[in-house]
Amino acid sequence: MSEHFQVRTTCGKARTGVLHTAHGDVETPVFMPVGTQATVKSLSSGDLEALGAQIILGNTYHLAMRPGHELIAGQGGLHRFMSWSGAILTDSGGFQVFSQQGRRTIDEDGVTFQSHVDGSLQRLTPESAMAIQAALGSDVAMAFDECPPSDADPGVLAKAMERTTRWARRCVVAPRAPGQLRFGIVQGGTNIAARMDHLGQIAELPFEGVALGGLSVGEPPEVMHEVVGQVAPAMPADRPRYLMGVGRPQDLLAGIAAGIDMFDCVMPTRNARNGHLFVPAGHLNIANASHRDDRRPIDETCACEACRRYSRAYLSHLFRAKEILYYRLATLHNLQYYLNLVRRARQAIIAGGYDSFVASELGRIEGRGGEGTE
């Protein structure tokens, strides 16, 4: 077993474990709130601590553009800059290769971006992406990769995989911050054979963890579940398995069942800002007229501040009035839902009843109740 990660319990392919980082142990399966610009939108680091978040995610590209990794390093690193004592994982900027297709060019050495901040040309290479993450001082640094579109033709897919492997070899030999772990990224689109081939290439490199990238980028959920269900169990068992950018509660449950340990997604925070609040029976839309005079909390079983203190009627008013407080309360609730979901999943795996747990959760989400289940 790895000195950085140990599997503690298994139930079928699902498993619990512990990831040892420079800023504390992280119990898995775990959901990582997304803090793109050194903040989980509308929440303080104290809010995240109160929710029980163990690890959060920062964005290498965005932090390098603003305020700059040199400034953050001068402030004592990302943890001190944002006053967060838990673990931080930073992505490498590789997803921007995908998301900013009209603002970048790729060559063998790296990627040239047009900055979304001021339009200036910026450059990311495997070496500079790792140097930025070293300056930020994150606990986990992701390798720089090329994420192709989900519908890319086989030739484009193969070239992206080959380049990602070459870049990964450059990433593993670049200097790192003290105690910093590194994860490699597996590409391959929805082609399971390609995924397996690329997994073999990335797994043989000395990364402390392995991630699946390039999913939940437009393919149907059932296709994504099939890919994860086939590939995740083949990922190295002695290293943490990370499914990047996924996703809905159903996706987390399916990923855990396949043996995934780590997740991140903007869905709980973004949906909160748009009035979409997660509840055991699916979700509710706080903008619906039925909530304008509803004295009930969002979820009577939830212990977040929004549910302990405020009614749906009050949250409906805040949302309609575009009051800033709404965004904080809604985000607290949705993240509490996600963190509770993975915590209960850990408990179900330890108890040996994960399949029953999933059936019960999906029955509520997809079958009964809710005013508009997904």
Strand pairing partners for 57? 34, 89
| Nearest one of 130, 126, 132, 120 to 146, comparing CA atoms | 126
- Give the catalytic positions in this structure: 91, 264
First to last CA, the chain: 39
Query: Given the DSSP bridges, would you call strands 24-28 and 14-21 parallel, antiparallel or unpaired?
Result: antiparallel
How many other C-beta atoms are found inside a 10 Å radius of the C-beta of residue 362? 14
| CA–CA gap between residue 223 and residue 270 (Å, rounded) | 24
Q: Which long-range contacts (CB under 8 A, 24 or more apart) does 368-373 make?
A: 368/281, 369/280, 369/281, 369/282, 370/279, 370/281, 370/282, 370/283, 370/284, 371/282, 371/283, 371/284, 371/285, 371/288, 371/290, 372/282, 372/283, 372/284, 372/285, 373/281, 373/282, 373/283
Which residue pairs, CB below 8 angstroms and at least 24 apart, start in 33-37? 33/57, 33/264, 33/268, 33/269, 33/335, 33/338, 34/264, 34/265, 34/266, 34/269, 35/82, 35/88, 36/62, 36/266, 37/62, 37/63, 37/66
248 CB neighbour count, 10 Å cutoff:
18
Q: Are 255 and 246 spatial neighbours (Cβ–Cβ below 8 Å)?
A: yes
